[in-house]
Chain A
Amino acid sequence: MTKFVDLHLCAPIKDIEKLKKMVTKSYQMGYRLAGIPLPTNVELDKVETLRKICSNVGLDFVSRVDLNPRNIPELLTNLRRVRRKFEVVAVLCTSKPVARQAAKDRRVDVLSLDLGKVRYRFFDRAEAELAAQSSCSLEIEMAPLLSLEGAPRIHLISNLRREVAIASSFRVPITVSSGATDDFVLRSPYDYSALAMLFDMTSSSALAALSSVPLRVVERNRRKLSLDFVAPGLHVVRRKDP
């Protein structure tokens, strides 16, 4: 059975009731893993509480951080600070130097673009080449596609079509996530795959972007964060009994 992943469920972590509602809805929609963005200074207790809430519903909680650095030094400092703390690290690219650095840094899992702003779209061929080498994936959020209307939505669809074509030609993995801040914007994976045809993604690649691609990112990072990990391709199989 396909395990669907919503890598960006923007549930409010301060409003527990709303969070529970959104997490339950997400499970009902068919998702089995949910990446909830957390602040960089989140306490471990809070993470455990969220993990418990999600597991009560049947969802596998994925800790995620969204970095929004203004320049390269800030990005590097933040990455050093958060990489061992979160399962998924996403970088919102708001300037070209930051986008380039994020695409070539192996510590970055997801490149996130500000979908509402046309000027902040930096995913071109050079960016795709860097992202393909560092196995960083491009994230497409579906919430703006549902909330925008008229000319802004037309521009958004046109940009997404171009970016998906570039990503496909450079074999950059694409992840599709809800980006939902409200449960009315949440849709099932099959609804999202139908919406993805608007920017020329085939149904099978859209479903992969909602299941196998984000699952691979999460599993890779969980392996890296486990105590048994030594280096890429090297992990502890067994420990000597004391």
Chain B
Amino acid sequence: MIRHAKRRYLAFQIESLESFEKEEIRDAIWNSLIQLFGEHGASQSGLFLVEYDKQRKQAILRCSLKALSMVHASVASVTKIEDKPVAFHVLRISGTLRALNKKLSA
């Protein structure tokens, strides 16, 4: 029987003078992941942008537990989106979305 792959949820803060669309954030993280770990590495990440709050400049990512360190490094290494300086700071990591939201609101 194939076991369900374990996942992790990462909440991160977007620091920039500009505001970005969800697609731009998603592409920036994917590009960073592919640059650092290649297409083979990226294919194992199970990366998905779950939520993006444009007003609060916060987003939540989902990835596989095995690729957590890869995704964390990729998120941290984003420095610009379309030549505009940006920094992503990981706030919290959790196993479920509900626990993550609870930690963020605490």
Q: Which residue of A lies closest to B16 (CB)?
A: A184
A146-B77, A195-B76 given; A187·B69 CB < 8 A:
no
Nearest to A191 among chain B residues (CB) is: B76
B73-96: CB near A (< 8 Å → 1, else 0) gives 101110100000111011000000
The answer to whether the Cβ of A29 comes within 8 Å of any Cβ in the partner chain is yes
Interface presence of B51 (CB below 8 A): no
* CB proximity of A227 to chain B, nearest CB, Å: 41
Count A/B pairs, Cβ under 8 Å. 42
Interface flag for A118 (CB, 8 Å): no
Is A149's CB within 8 Å of the partner chain B?
yes
For A203, give the chain B residue with the smallest CB separation: B69
On chain B, the residues within 8 Å of A147 by CB distance are 79
Chain B residue at minimal CB-CB distance from A190: B90
Say yes or no: A187-B76 contact (C-beta < 8 A), given A29-B89, A149-B35, A198-B36: yes
Contact (Cβ within 8 A) B69 A194: yes
Given contacts A184-B15, A184-B79, contact A197 B89 (CB under 8 A): no
Say yes or no: is A185 at the interface (Cβ < 8 Å to chain B): yes
- Contact between B90 and A191, CB atoms less than 8 A apart: yes
Provide the residues of chain B in CB contact with A190, threshold 8 Å. Answer: 72, 90
**Cβ contacts under 8 Å, B85 to chain A:** 182, 184
When C-beta atoms are compared, the residue in chain B nearest to A198 turns out to be B73
CB-based nearest B residue for A145? B77
Are B72 and A191 in touch, CB under 8 angstroms? yes
Contacts of A29 in B (CB 8 A): 89
1/0 contact string of A130-172 vs chain B (CB within 8 Å): 0000000000000001110100000000000000000000000
- A–B complex contacts, Cβ < 8 Å, 9 sampled: A182-B85, A184-B15, A184-B79, A185-B87, A190-B72, A191-B75, A194-B76, A197-B70, A197-B73
